[in-house]
Structure 1
Amino acid sequence: MELDFLLNRTTKATPAPITIVWDWNGTLRNDLDDHVAALNATLPGLGGEPISVETYQALHRMPIRDFYTDVLGRQLGDEEWHAADTAFLSELARRPVRLQQGARQLMMGLRARGVRQSLLSLAPHERLVGEVESVGITGLLERVDGRPGPSVPSKAPAMIAHLQALGPGVDPSRTLVIGDSVDDAVAAHAVGAVPVLHSTGLHGATRLATAGVPLVETIQDAVATGIAIITSRQLAAA
């Protein structure tokens, strides 16, 4: 298959393995509909009306508090925001964790071919670890990092710390960041990694296109595109 060919060429060019840093919500986890339903269960208590999937994808952004401002047309006070965030997470936790179609098989195949994989999310760390364990992919990931504290405006600082924690064997230029938000691209650029975004997650294609990075439809396409970019750069530098 084409992916095997690309990986074989890359391996011959340099001994350093390719590393993939996965996003969770909307990327490995198939939860767009769950997020929309959880938000719509929260909005009436804030005086808001339910929104569509298309509106969610068009407006969703970090920090999440600003997303609520866009949806409601007003800013939330601190107590109101914390209550809304707690209610949203509680509603989301009631829904079963599902992976994107073919995600486990894709990850197993990558591991068999020597690709390192990790996961970085801005979801609360303890909840993230539990969700990843529940779908049986923890053993395929070298690290699983969520946010340890309050919501933050960007993933970039966490990405820097994440790559440092993975150790000196990680070459940022041979690291592929796969996500579903403009912020995932920003975080990738912060460490010199290759970002590829997909349009089946929490953000719509129109917004993702503003990031100016490769945009594909599926995580399978994202892997193939990102590895092709890394390979071509390696060959050009040889």
Structure 2
Amino acid sequence: MKNKIKHLIWDWNGTLFNDVQLSVDIINNLLKINKLPQITYEKYRDIFTFPVSDYYKLAGFDFNKTSFEILGKMFMEEYENRKYEMNLFNGAKEILELVRSRGISQSVLSAYKYDTLLEVLEHYCISEYFESVSGLDNIYAGSKEHLGIELRKKLNFHKSEILLVGDTLHDADVAKAMDVDCVLISNGHQSADKLKANGNLVLSDLSELKHLL
């Protein structure tokens, strides 16, 4: 893989943007409102999955009592109000700059709502690093596989020259659908044990990525 990469595709939430604790806090607020047991940080990373509706069920919600649409809207309202309490992962800007300095183009592929994604990239002053940004047209964080397939069509590189970096098994599934390589970072929304289950290449944090470029 080393020295062949010409384009790097970044996931956003949990990969470049450290919003894991915020997500735990908000889901626990929703659980409390619905008189359900709280979950720990560790349990959150063990049960988080895509589509997000499945993870809500694992957290204990009953959609017959409160619909996923209502819960998802409540989650995102609080998330949007508090998102700037969080920050980029340590070393995120440094790795973005390193990738650019080596002549590797970059893009963002996210299940986050597209227009809001553009806003946060501007807020954290990293928009300049990306030649394209792909996000969903809604707040419910479903699959981004179709976005990945569309992005792949636009990239004029051999599959061996593209690397997707994410923090969930869904990112690995998206990379497979795109027919490109994938590296997962284990300090995001899913635990290292969960990420390694399918034989994925898993790194502890962003700093380890530099050894693959």
User: Structure 1-normalised TM-score?
Assistant: 0.82
In structure 1, the residue matched to 2:159 is 172
> Which one has a larger percent helix, Structure 1 or Structure 2?
1
Match of 1:215 among 202, 206, 212: 202
Measured in 2, the distance between the counterparts of 1:98 and 1:153 equals 23
Within the alignment, does 1:28 sit opposite 2:16 as a pair?
yes
Measured in 2, the distance between the counterparts of 1:28 and 1:35 equals 15
Q: Percent identity?
A: 26
Alignment of 1:79-94 (within 5 A): 80-93=67-80, 94=82
Could you report, residue by residue, the CA deviation over 1:11-65 in whole angstroms, capped at 9, with x for unpaired residues?
Answer: xxxxxx6111000010000111111111112222233222111000000001111
Gaps of 5+ in 2: none
In structure 1, the residue matched to 2:48 is 60
Aligned residue pair count: 210
Measured in 2, the distance between the counterparts of 1:107 and 1:70 equals 34
Larger radius of gyration: 1
Measured in 2, the distance between the counterparts of 1:68 and 1:26 equals 18
Measured in 2, the distance between the counterparts of 1:108 and 1:133 equals 16
Per the TM alignment, residue 168 of structure 1 is displaced from its structure 2 partner at its CA by 4.5
Structure with higher RCO (Cα < 8 A, 6+ apart):
2
In structure 2, the residue matched to 1:231 is none
Within the alignment, does 1:186 sit opposite 2:173 as a pair?
yes
Measured in 2, the distance between the counterparts of 1:168 and 1:216 equals 25
**Residue aligned with 1:95, SS:** helix
Match of 2:6 among 8, 15, 18: 18
Match of 2:33 among 40, 45, 49: 45
1:41 touches 1:91 (CA, 8 Å); kept in 2? no
1:198 touches 1:218 (CA, 8 Å); kept in 2? yes
Alpha-carbon RMSD:
1.9
Match of 2:128 among 128, 131, 139: 139
